Structure 1
């Protein structure tokens, strides 16, 4: 472990259907993060950008374009893709470079714009993130793959479709408290169960929306943070894991190995355990994912997450607050931005900017973000600076 690394500032656009170009969205979030940190673009020594579908906006090699538009064309930028986990994988690279002493201050930005494409085009683009030879190319979409995981989970453990629905209801309750969430709508278990079937047992309200949006944070070393005079939070744990790319290659499809390994690394680095975490932002692309996530991260024994949700133990200010932002399900899922948006939520929670969704007395938080069906994952742990 090298130098300590801090999140000094954070910014985010609203998530949803946005009219601005992908570069404009990126610049809006970047400017908010830079202003939040009390710095200028000239203080940024490198830019890390996470994006998956820039080709849909006719813009790949995006990082230099963003750096140039920020007025710092001489600052090196790097664009990173890791499917839906791009934001957290990119964040880890930014963290590692500051920790290694290469830079004292960097911009970590995630951005996506996909709602302007047709459903057929966007679904096709998404399918390229799976193992296309085995999955996407044979018609196995992500709803279908997660539907298979859900069916296996319901068949193996004491869980029901109502339990899946309760995950959606809880995340929508939190999303109502988030002014930047994509789907701010109160729903009931009955609403979820009566919504159209997408890939049985998953219904429409079990699935997160396609979203546009951007989120950005400023990472820096200790000297830079202390000089700033602005509030900051510490990154105390970081981990990355991998799983077989195709679901059919896994021994057990009710767990995601990449999550388990990334969490193990992050806990070890932070010298903490699941019981130390006050709240967690997890990758709930589908309701089944949240149940699997909170078991794989160690918050509940295998097969018991559904009962925990049933008992309200994952609600705001309960045993372990899960997705206070509303999660992907309600806050939205702008693919490249999602993992960074989770960090923005932690920063806002720890700097008294979360409003009505504040997790009381929280001091330690975790973010968890994976790509595709969990082929790649990253987990980070954060500590509030008192």
Structure 2
């Protein structure tokens, strides 16, 4: 397997842009990544698009705006895991020598999508969904389990939102640049007890793009050698679905695969970007990624370890809670953010001494399977 290097990153602003299409947003991100890489876009040999809603030949539509045609182009849908799934496929192409350079573009226009203002409709054969289990209610069950088994308080459950909105104030791309107190969060509209509105990520328009290449290509264009050391994907399991809501075994499986492939462990990690669609979700991910031991997620968080100046900062960008969650873009954005941190280019939200970073994104819920249904973990080093 060859080394896979990050050559270029780019993203659009995140927010509500009803006058912008997913293609237009994706074009902004792709052009930014090409500019960051310092290449002629016609060098690209393969392209992947990621879009969870209303997608059809999206990456072809984007790349024609860059003058790129007649190369292999594929579009990926894998719920919230669409972006990191596409990034994984591009990583594999470069690692195996199928191609020397390629791009992945994740984009979503949630404001004007067919899902705007709606909940995801369950499949007809999804009994849980037909009975009213939604993503907010599912994570509310996790929150209740954190309270019952871990001694979490209602204030504890708000902390990722408090922290991430504080971090988001430092990020130029954030949808929300306003600090929130635990009291403000607790007093916001109840969505699924104990999760309130300000513990939920906003539906957002936005895009992110990532250019990966071989080491030989990278050395021609940059002295900042950021490597994706490993990339691991996982799907749901029949193994005791729903019985251990906090553990989320399959996230741990993906993380362990990524650590083993990279020859690193959680103790080596300096910065993490992860899927925080709901505030309590970030808390259980601490254990899934091995950042703390089982049963210690609350005390780990209370220690300040996950703060931007802590031992292992989590979501220094502001995460989905502050940036927003354009579904197809988020999995690409987390990889871009880790690369940005390792380059030392994150500006006001830069993490000190960031040498090893983890990008995680998950998605999907299906009755009878232990989630995440689509999960990915990438480990980057400088």
Give the drift of 1:188: 0.4
> Which residue of 2 is the match for residue 316 of structure 1?
308
For residues 1-386 of structure 1, what are the structure 2 equivalents within 5 Å? 2-18=1-17, 19-53=19-53, 55=54, 59-117=55-113, 121-124=116-119, 126-128=120-122, 133-229=126-222, 231-244=224-237, 249-373=241-365, 374-384=372-382
Deviation at 1:270, TM superposition (A): 0.8
Q: Is the 8 A contact 2:200 2:278 kept in 1?
A: yes
RMSD (Å), alpha carbons: 1.8
Unaligned runs of 5+ in 1: none
Contact residue 8 and residue 230 of structure 1 kept, 8 A: no
Aligned counterparts of 2:314 and 2:84: Cα–Cα separation in 1 = 17
Which deviates more, 298-307 or 321-330? Answer: 298-307
Q: CA deviation at 1:349?
A: 1.3
Q: Could you tell me the TM-score, scaled by structure 1's length?
A: 0.93
Name the SS for the 2:112 alignment partner: coil
Task: Report if the CA contact (8 A) 2:7-2:222 is conserved.
Answer: no
Q: How many residues align structurally?
A: 375
- State the Cα deviation string for residues 138-179 of structure 1 (Å, max 9, x = none): 322111111112112211211111101111101111111001
CA displacement at 1:311 relative to structure 2: 2.5
**3-state SS of 2:348 partner:** helix
Q: Relative to structure 1, is the Cα distance of residues 32 and 232 closer, same or farther in structure 2, using a 3 angstrom cutoff?
A: farther
Query: Contact 1:37–1:230 (CA<8 Å) still a contact in 2?
Result: no
Find the aligned partners of 2:222 and 2:316 in 1 and give their Cα distance: 28
Q: Distance in 2 between matches of 1:307 and 1:189?
A: 17
1:205-258: CA deviations, max 9, x gaps? 11111011000010000110011135341011221222248x993331112222
Is residue 108–residue 207 contact of structure 2 (8 Å, CA) maintained in 1?
Answer: yes
Deviations 1:300-329 (A, max 9, x none): 112221222222221012121010111111
- Extract structure 1 runs of 4+ deviating beyond 4 A: none
Q: 1:88 & 1:217 partners in 2: Cα distance?
A: 11
| 2-structure distance, mates of 1:291, 1:334 | 21
